[in-house]
Structures are given as structure tokens and as C-alpha cells.
């Protein structure tokens, strides 16, 4: 009996120890992974929700940069770090491995949000979930999401496979390349998750703000895959 009592007491002590330190560890993890800014609405590309009145200043400096550059060397200093996981939805013909590599290049490029933010892909649930989705499943994330476009719904940033593989008629008829479209759509939809609404073309011939709905209509602007400096600076 005495031995059993000792065993019970020891078990209670071990359980208590695990409970206290388990909760502390969980809180620590939770603190690190807590999203910093995301708004909770749906940023659909078929409606005018998320419209903001400010038009970011065109960034002349970046015009001279090579859009192909995916180096992280010219980062200004990381001020924010986000984690994300990648999943697919439905019947995917595109390479998910290729999607993962390219999305990570875009997000961590010094030309975009990556100039001051770091995006780390993780296996478990990250701050947000990046989805490569068969087009018809877009509305399953929100009634505000359309099978025609990509979307952001709560923690999900959903890239429409049809757009990933073929861009849009507006983009293609303006002579935009597919890789640039892929940069743009990832920057734009993650931009929504970061808390940005929609923006408008600042003037004919200017480079479009990345938060303009370039997939639908360039409004006289030139296509542009990357956020303007004035857009990136709002992340600070
Ligand atoms: Zn949008």
C-alpha cells in the first residue's frame, strides 16, 4: 500500500510538472506564432470589398531594378517574421513543389514584402495557410470567393490554379509574363492577409500598385508584380 501511495504521489507530481511546463511552452509557441496584423474579412477579387482610398506613390527607383532578381541580399533588415504552411485543394495539375519554391522566392524577395519581412514555410499550421486550389473549390472558402479569381478568406490565402498556370486575359494582353503574374498574385493575396485593401492606378502609364486588381483591369497602368516602397513601408 505504501509503495502504491508513493507511486500515486510521484505520478501526481510528474503530471503537475508536465502540465505547468507544457502550458508555459504552449503559451510561448502561441506568442511567437500569433499573427500580427491580418484583418478578418474576405478580400474577394470579384467585388469591391477592401477598397481603400489611398493610392500608393509610384516607386521610380524600383522601375530600374530587374524584376527577375530574387535575391534576399538587398533586404533592409527584417522587422517582421511570419510563418505559413502550404496545402493543395482539389485536382492539382501544377507541381506543388514548384509552387512552394516560387511562392517562397516571391515572399522573401527584397523587391517585395520580403524587403523588411521574412516568410518561413513550416510543416504545421503557420500564421497563415497558402493554398494552391483547383478553381472550382475557391467558393468553398467563402461565398465571397469566385472560381474565376484567387482570394483571401480569413487565414487562407488561396491561389487559383487556373490563374497560377495561365494568368488572366487582361495581364496576357498587356504582354505580362507568367512568372511576373505569379509574383503579383502571391504578393497581392498575401498583401490582403497582411491587412491591405484594394488600391487604384495612380495615373496612366504608371506602374500599378500591387494591391490594385491587376488581374481584372490595369486601368491604364503598367502591370507590376511588386509592392511599391510606400506599400512595403506600411508594414513597419
Ligand atoms: Zn484583391
- Domains of the chain, by residue range, sit at 35-235
Least confident of 6-20, 73-87, 98-112, 146-160: 6-20
CB atoms within 10 A of CB 228: 25
Sheet holding 117-121, edge to edge: 42-44, 151-153, 156-160, 128-133, 80-89, 117-121
Whether residue 213 contacts residue 66, with contact meaning beta carbons closer than 8 Å, is answered with no
Distance between Cα 13 and ligand 1 center (Å): 53
Distance between Cα 18 and ligand 1 center (Å): 45
Task: Average the pLDDT over 200-225 and give the result.
Answer: 89
Distance between Cα 98 and ligand 1 center (Å): 23
Is residue 3 scored above 60 in pLDDT?
no
Distance between Cα 51 and ligand 1 center (Å): 9
- The pLDDT value given to residue 56: 62
The grid coordinates of residue 51 equal 477598397
- The pLDDT value given to residue 175: 87
- The pLDDT value given to residue 29: 31
Whether the pTM exceeds 0.85: the reply is no
Distance between Cα 103 and ligand 1 center (Å): 17
pLDDT in tens, 47-62: 545 545 455 666 554 5
Distance between Cα 87 and ligand 1 center (Å): 20
Distance between Cα 77 and ligand 1 center (Å): 27
Question: Average pLDDT over the chain, rounded to whole?
Answer: 78
Distance between Cα 30 and ligand 1 center (Å): 29
The answer to whether domain 35-235 has CATH 3.40.390 is yes
Distance between Cα 45 and ligand 1 center (Å): 5
Amino acid at each position: 500500500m505504501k509503495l502504491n501511495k508513493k507511486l500515486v504521489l510521484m505520478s501526481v507530481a510528474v503530471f503537475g510538472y508536465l502540465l505547468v511546463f507544457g502550458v508555459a511552452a504552449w503559451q510561448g509557441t502561441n506568442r511567437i506564432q500569433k499573427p500580427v496584423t491580418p484583418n478578418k474579412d474576405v478580400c474577394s477579387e470579384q467585388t469591391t470589398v477592401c477598397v481603400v482610398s489611398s493610392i500608393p506613390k509610384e516607386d521610380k527607383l524600383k522601375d530600374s531594378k530587374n524584376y527577375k532578381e530574387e535575391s534576399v541580399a538587398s533586404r533592409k533588415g527584417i522587422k517582421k517574421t511570419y510563418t505559413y504552411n502550404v496545402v493543395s485543394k482539389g485536382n492539382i495539375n501544377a507541381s506543388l513543389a514548384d509552387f512552394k519554391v516560387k511562392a517562397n522566392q516571391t515572399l522573401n524577395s527584397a523587391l517585395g514584402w520580403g524587403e523588411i519581412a521574412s516568410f518561413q514555410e513550416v510543416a504545421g499550421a503557420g500564421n497563415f495557410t497558402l493554398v494552391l486550389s483547383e478553381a472550382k473549390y475557391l467558393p468553398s472558402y467563402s461565398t465571397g470567393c469566385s472560381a474565376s479569381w484567387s482570394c483571401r478568406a480569413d487565414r487562407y490565402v488561396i491561389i487559383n490554379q487556373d490563374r497560377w498556370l495561365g494568368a488572366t486575359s487582361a495581364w496576357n494582353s498587356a504582354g505580362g509574363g507568367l512568372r511576373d503574374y505569379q509574383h503579383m498574385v502571391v504578393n497581392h493575396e498575401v498583401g490582403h492577409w497582411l491587412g491591405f485593401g484594394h488600391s487604384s492606378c495612380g495615373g496612366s502609364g504608371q506602374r500599378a500598385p500591387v494591391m490594385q486588381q491587376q488581374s481584372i483591369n490595369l486601368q491604364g497602368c503598367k502591370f507590376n508584380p511588386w509592392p511599391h516602397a510606400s506599400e512595403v513601408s506600411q508594414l513597419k
